[in-house]
Structure 1
Amino acid sequence: MTISNSNHTKVNELISILSDMTGLAAGYYSSACHEKSAFQFAAPFSKGQSIFEFLYNRVENVECFLYDEGEGCYFFSVWMETLQGFFITGPYRAADAVPDECLVYLPDGLQAEEAHAPYKYRHHYVRTMVNSMIRHYFYYYPGIAYEYDWITQGMNEAGMDYVYHPYEQEKKFLEYFKNTDPEGFEMLKNLEQETDMTFGSEAPVRELKNYLIVLCAILTRPLIEIGVTSTEVMTMNRSLLSKIENSDTLNQLNEQKTEILNSFYYIMKKERNKGYSPFTRQVREFIQSHLRKPVDVKTVADYMNLTPGYVSTMFKEECGVTLKRYILESKIREAERLVIYSDMPLSDIALMLCFNDQTYFTKAFKRITGRTPMQYRKQGS
C-alpha cells in the first residue's frame, strides 16, 4: 500500500510525538516505506531481512512485544490495518513480565547491535503511551483511518464527521495556551465535556490515565516550538508521567491533572516573561518547528519578509546571540536528544538535521556541548 504525501507527513509527525513522549526511538514500517521513517528507527535486523517482512510473517496480534534475548531489551509493535504497516517503539528494558501471547522472540542473527535501551518501570507504560497517542492522533486525522479500522471501530458516519470539531477546538486551546491566556483552561474544560472521545479503556482509572498522557503530549509540543529546551520539557514530562502511572484513584489523578496544567503553564509563562518581542518569538518558533529542514538566516528572513541583515540585527539586539548561532544551537540541542534517546547512527542524525558534513556536525556538537556525539552517547547525558 502506498501512502499519500499528506498521510506520510502525518505518520512522520506521529513518530516524532511518540519519540518525544516515550523517550524511545520510534518508527513506522510498511512494504512501501523500505524501513525508513522520519525518526530513523535503529533496526534490530540484518542479513537483508526487512523489519516489515519479519513482523508481517510472524506477528498474529495487533500489538506485540519483540524480545531481543542477546541484549535483554524489548520493542513494542502496533499493526495499523488501514496503513498496512507497523509502528515500532524501542529498544527499552523493563522489570515486569509481558503477556506470553503477545511476545515474539527475535531469532539468532537479528539482535540489536549496541542497543541503547533506557529502563522503563513497566511494559504497560510503553504500551499505554503508544496506544493512547496513536488513538488520539488518528481520531483527529480520520483521513488516514477507515470505517472498519480497529482504532475507529464503532464510529459511525456521523462520528467521523464529528472528529474534526474537537481538533479545531484543540488548536484554539493551544493558541490560548501559547499566549498564556487563562481563558484556554476554560476552553479545555468545555472540550472535555462536549467531546465523546475515549482513550482506549472502559476502566475509569485507566481511561483518565490515558487521557492525562495524551494531555502531556499535547502540551509538550508548543513548549518546544517556542524555544523551551527539549531537555527541560522532557525532564518535567518524565516526572509527571511517572506520577500518573503510580496513581491508583480518580482523586489522585485529578490532582495530577491540576499539577500537569500548572506545570506546563508555569514553564510557558516563564518563557514568555523573558520579554521577547512578537518579532523574536515568531523567529524562534519558526526555527524550532523547522529543525529537520535546511534553515539559515536567509530562510528566516524570507519567512519574515525582511532582509537578512535587518533580521540578524534585530535578533542579536534582543537575544544577545547571533541568529546564525541560535539556529546552530537549536539544531545541536535537538541532536542531543536524538543521540541520547535513539540508536540512530550519528551520521543519520547529522543528515536528519541537515548537516551535510559529518566532520562539521561533530565539531559543532563538541563546541556547544563540550563532548563529541559519540562521547555524549556513551556517557548517557
Structure 2
Amino acid sequence: MKSIYKKIEDTMVKNRYASYIHPPYELESKLVQCIQQLDLETASYILNKINSLERAQLSNQPLTSLKYSIVGSCAIFTRAAIEGGLDTETAFILSDYYINLIDETPNVHALQELEYSMLTDFINVLKRYKQYFYNPLINRVIEYIKKNIENPLSLQEISTFAKVHPNYLSAAFKKEVGKTLSEYISEVKIGAIKLYLNNTDLSVTEISHIFNFNHITYFSRFFKKHIGLTPMEYRKQVLTATV
C-alpha cells in the first residue's frame, strides 16, 4: 500500500499535469472574512472567482465529485459563521440541513445554484443571530470563551486576553451577564459537550479528552452536576427520544 506521502505527491503531479491546482488559500481566507463581516456581495464575488477555477476531482462520478466539493464549502461556511459569532448549535443545524440537500440534489446545475443559496443563508442566519447584548469588552470575552471552550479557561488567561485586570473583568462580567465568569464558562462547556454527545459517535472518554479533563471520572461529575445525568445516561436518553 502506498504511503500517504506518496499518494499526496502522485496526486500533486497529476493535478499539475491536468492544469489543476486547489483554490489559493488566500481566496478561501477572504471568503471567510466576508462571511464574518456579513458582506454577501463580496463573498459571492470571491466564490465566483474560486468556482472559475477547475474543481478537484474527488470522485470518478462528476456529480458525486461536485457534491463532495460543495460539502467542503459547507464546512468552510460553517466554521466561518461560528468564528463570526454564530453559536455552534445553530451553525451545525444549518450545516446538517444543507449537507442533506446536497446529497439529495440530482444534477450539476442545481448543485451549483445550491452552493450560492447556502452562502446566502449562512450570512443571513449569522446576521440574524449575531446579537451583541453586552458592551464590546464582554462581547470579546464571550467570543474568546466560545472559541476556546475545549480548553481549560481561567480568569487570569481571559483577563490577559482582554487586557484588563482580573478583578475588573470579574465584576464587569457579573454585572453585564448576570452570572459569574465561571458559571458562564461551565454553561458554554456543557452546551458544547452536548453537541458532541448528540452528533458524534465519539466515546465519552474521547469527548472528555477533547475537553481536556484529566480523568473521565471528573468529566462525568462535572456533567452530572449541571445536567443531573452522567454523559452516558444523557446520550442514552437522547437516543431513546429519537427512536
TM range (shorter): 0.7 to 0.9
Query: How far 1:174 moved relative to its partner?
Result: 0.9
Which runs of 5 or more structure 2 residues have no equivalent in the other structure? Answer: none
Query: How far 1:255 moved relative to its partner?
Result: 3.9
- Choose which of 69, 78, 82 in structure 1 pairs with 2:5: 82
CA contact (8 A) 2:36 2:83 kept: no
RMSD: 3.1
Residue type of the alignment partner of 1:212? I
- Choose which of 151, 154, 161 in structure 1 pairs with 2:14: 154
Higher strand share: 1
Residue type of the alignment partner of 1:147? E
Query: How far 1:178 moved relative to its partner?
Result: 1.0
Q: How many residue pairs align between the two structures?
A: 237
Aligned match of 2:51 = 192
Aligned match of 2:162 = 304
SS of the residue 2:90 aligns to:
helix
CA contact (8 A) 2:86 2:130 kept: no
Query: How far 1:203 moved relative to its partner?
Result: 4.6
Q: Kindly tell me: are residues 213 and 351 of structure 1, through their superposed partners in 2, closer, same or farther at Cα, counting changes over 3 Å?
A: closer
Higher helix share: 2
CA contact (8 A) 1:229 1:333 kept: no
Query: How far 1:269 moved relative to its partner?
Result: 0.9
Structure 1: distance between partners of 2:103 and 2:219? 38
- Choose which of 12, 23, 27 in structure 2 pairs with 1:169: 27
Structure 2: distance between partners of 1:348 and 1:251? 41
Structure 2: distance between partners of 1:246 and 1:343? 24
For normalisation by structure 1, the TM-score amounts to 0.54
SS of the residue 1:380 aligns to:
helix
Aligned match of 1:291 = 149
CA contact (8 A) 1:199 1:210 kept: no
Structure 1: distance between partners of 2:206 and 2:59? 38
SS of the residue 1:200 aligns to:
coil
Write out aligned runs for 1:1-381 (5 A): 81-82=4-5, 146-148=8-10, 150=11, 152-156=12-16, 166-182=24-40, 183-193=42-52, 195-201=53-59, 203-226=61-84, 228-356=86-214, 358-380=216-238
Which runs of 5 or more structure 1 residues have no equivalent in the other structure? Answer: 1-59, 61-78, 84-144
For normalisation by structure 2, the TM-score amounts to 0.80
Structure 2: distance between partners of 1:281 and 1:269? 16
For residues 347-375 of structure 1, give each alpha carbon's deviation from its aligned partner in whole angstroms, at most 9, with x where no partner exists. 44324312336455334323444432111
Query: How far 1:177 moved relative to its partner?
Result: 0.9
Residue type of the alignment partner of 1:373? P
Q: What's the % identity of the aligned pairs?
A: 27
CA contact (8 A) 2:55 2:69 kept: no
CA contact (8 A) 1:226 1:284 kept: no
CA contact (8 A) 1:226 1:288 kept: no
Residue type of the alignment partner of 1:171? S
